[in-house]
Amino acid sequence: MKARDRIEKLRRRIEELNHAYHVLDEPRASDAEYDALFRELQELEAAHPELDSENSPTRRVGAAPLEAFVAVEHREPMLSLANALDDDDIRDFDARTRKFLGSDDPIVYTLEPKVDGIGISLTYEKGRLVLAATRGDGTTGEDVTANARTIRCIPLELGGPRADLPALIEIRGEVFTPVAAFKAFNDRRSEEEGRYANPRNFTGGSLRQLDSRITAQRPLEALFYSVGHVEGLAIESQSAMLDFFRAWGLPVADPYVRSSADIEEIVRRHHELEDGRDEVPYEIDGTVIKVDEVELRRVLGSRSRTPRWAVACKFKSREASTRLLDVEISVGRTGALTPVAVLEPVALGGVTVSSASLHNMDEIERLGVKIGDRVLVERAGDVIPKVVKVLVGERNGRERTIAMPNRCPACDAEVDREPDEVVLRCPNVSCPAKLKGAVQHFASKDALEIEGMGEKLVEQLVDRGLVKSLADVFGLRFEDLVELERMGEQSSRKLLTAIERAKTRPLGRVIFGLGIRHVGEHVAEILASRYPSLEALLEADEDDLVAVHEIGEKVAHAVVAFAHEEHNREMVAQLIAAGLAPEVAKKRTGGALDGKTFVITGTLPTMGRKEAENLIKRHGGKPVGSVSKATDYLVVGEKPGSKLKKAETLGVTVLDEDGLRRLVGEAAGG
Ligand code: IVH
């Protein structure tokens, strides 16, 4: 094959794989296969500079840095949207629209999520991407083409039948960062590099890099929902437009788009999305309702900056201002002292918030926060509320500086500050606060899973001296428990059963439960597959440990340091004497679910997601995040998301919670 043909073929194939992976979420090749094709293309291009093309996927790694961004004018302005603040505003929008059109006929609306990202406009000429511009002020934005080219889900050339391609089209949408990818990126950043406050800031910062090679390394994604100027194609409705986008390979907000001629159904759908916003992989701050038909939109027209045919419906805010009343210091199981903000209670996205984490002293300094300040509090996704900003203008001079204590608030021991760490730690091995944290961790879902052993109960057990070490958990008696607050006979008996069951949890979870530094769930499982018992693990030396695949020096050192502490050895001996007999990971054969992969979607009626995952793992199965052809089972609960649809198209077996129980041979409730 001639080099030219091979290069073209490789470029097409790689872009197809990019599309499958980034837009359809259905990988069609292994990483190794993809890398091999990519390398072959890079080598051929290097050998044939005359066949260079800026639309080659090899260019997605970024180009030489720019001096500055160039301003570009949008051919058609990027408008804003009017807001609807509650359900009646949505109904008013419908009534207004019909009145304006002078029609009693029902109007078809399309509802989409309002993505909290950075607005972007892509210009394609004869299907080729020629310009990407930020929204800017709506009239003029910045040319970020080099950066947009590195975003894998943005097609460099539109696909589909050539005949359908418009001569020129401006396609509008939003660049964003999925929440999980944002968290992973931030977690890997050191304090010095600086962490980003939220996915939106991160997206903006990444998209506005003069060096597109940096943008290329950021996990940016995009989706598209509107058209500006267009030549040579008639688009009759929002639904038809989204169909064109899909055919061209542009990502849209599937599966969250809905059309209906019934405004009440649209209102319901808005609330469904609001309730399920944490299940959406990216941040959304509302929904957008649009008149579907383009001809009706033409009649409705625009006000100065906002169209009459669309409205943005905001979700309840997750940001509120309140007063910082005090700072309390909490001591965790590792002894780390964490400042916790005590707040004047404030309603935030449906719950009342009265405390928030302040992380550590550096964070307090960064915020410049003082006691008595009015502060902005944010609650995002599943994370605990945090103080994000001080409203300095509201100060009256009576605010007080926050000081971290020199002594542990729980046991009065003098605290340590490790040289290269920002955290203060209590060094006392028998500090009651550390013990409480350790017991809670030991009993938690991912460790020994002692149902009913929550924070409040652990507090009582430690405060009353019933639990002085982890091993004491196994020595608890019915008489001790019934005496406690909020514990009846039934809950005491239930708890004792749960404790009994916890004695034979798999070794990996027990190792995790010990709370050894740097030993998370995954590392604990690796250790459990190498060492047959806790005793064997405690005898291991660093060389031994480092020889284990995936175990590095940091972990090896932490395990040995743990084993060398006399009180830890004693604790483990006590645990074993009290009946802890971890189930050893057999080289798993004969597990009912051996080698099977599972995806869970929706809310399971009784089990909880973690519990279902643990059940699957216990029987040799593997829970994974997204549905693909390789998935064996989809477990569905209430309000399943897009995964159900996808599983059905791919022919994946669908089960409910009881189906899962039957599959592993456990009776419901057991
Ligand atoms: S339509 C003329 N649809 O929200 C209509 N906008 O407040 C143009 N946005 O600047 C916008 N998700 O950046 C539309 N599904 C969606 C959207 C959306 C997010 C942003 C967009 C726009 C702003 C309007």
With a threshold of 0.85, does the pTM exceed it? no
- For residue 276, how far is its CA from the centre of ligand 1 (angstroms)? 20
Cβ(199)–Cβ(287) below 8 Å: no
Most confident of 63-67, 557-561, 660-664: 557-561
Instruction: Look up residue 559 and give its two tokens.
Output: 């395990």
User: Cα torsion for 560, 564, 565, 567, to the nearest 10°?
Assistant: 110
Of 227, 270, 221, which is closest to residue 91 (Cα–Cα)?
A: 270
C-alpha distance from residue 321 to each of 183, 326, 353, 375, 378 (Å): 24, 15, 11, 5, 9
**Does the CB atom of residue 110 touch ligand 1 within 6 A?**
no
Mean pLDDT of 582-609: 78
pLDDT value of position 423: 83
Binned at pLDDT 50, 70 and 90, residue 587 comes out as: low
Please list the alpha-helical segments (H only) found in 75-121.
87-101
Residue-wise pLDDT tens digits, 344-403: 999 886 778 999 988 888 889 989 999 999 999 988 655 678 898 999 999 999 999 998
- For residue 174, how far is its CA from the centre of ligand 1 (angstroms)? 8
Lowest average pLDDT, out of 98-112, 116-130, 408-422, goes to: 408-422
**Does the CB atom of residue 312 touch ligand 1 within 6 A?**
yes
- For residue 147, how far is its CA from the centre of ligand 1 (angstroms)? 21
Measured from the Cβ of residue 79, the count of other Cβ atoms closer than 10 Å reads 18
Residue-wise pLDDT tens digits, 536-572: 999 999 988 988 877 888 899 999 999 999 999 999 9
**Does the CB atom of residue 470 touch ligand 1 within 6 A?**
no
DSSP 3-state of 88: helix
**Does the CB atom of residue 81 touch ligand 1 within 6 A?**
yes
Phi, psi of 139 (to 5 degrees): -100, -45
Question: In sequence order, what E strands does 136-205 have?
Answer: 140-142, 168-176
pLDDT value of position 236: 96
- For residue 532, how far is its CA from the centre of ligand 1 (angstroms)? 57
595: amino acid identity, one letter: G
pLDDT value of position 669: 45
**Does the CB atom of residue 112 touch ligand 1 within 6 A?**
yes
- For residue 80, how far is its CA from the centre of ligand 1 (angstroms)? 7
Q: Which of 2, 9, 99, 114 is catalytic?
A: 114
Residue reference for tokens 């970020």: 144
Cβ(339)–Cβ(364) below 8 Å: yes
CA distance 447 to 443: 6
CA distance 68 to 631: 47
**Cβ contacts of residue 270 below 8 Å, gap of 6+?**
90, 111, 287, 289, 313
CA distance 139 to 162: 30
**Does the CB atom of residue 525 touch ligand 1 within 6 A?**
no
Percent of the chain whose predicted confidence (pLDDT) is above 90: 65
Residue to mutate, 93, 175, 226, ligand 1, most ligand atoms under 8 Å from C-beta? 226
- For residue 117, how far is its CA from the centre of ligand 1 (angstroms)? 10
**Does the CB atom of residue 114 touch ligand 1 within 6 A?**
yes
Binned at pLDDT 50, 70 and 90, residue 190 comes out as: low
CA distance 534 to 524: 11
**Does the CB atom of residue 156 touch ligand 1 within 6 A?**
no
Write out 458-501 in H/E/C secondary structure.
HHHHHHCCCCCCHHHHHHCCHHHHHCCCCCCHHHHHHHHHHHHH
Binned at pLDDT 50, 70 and 90, residue 142 comes out as: very high
Pick the atom of ligand 1 nearest to 114's CA: 12
Is pLDDT of 667 > 70? no
| Annotated catalytic residue 114 | yes
Residue to mutate, 172, 282, 289, 290, ligand 1, most ligand atoms under 8 Å from C-beta? 172
Is pLDDT of 30 > 80? yes
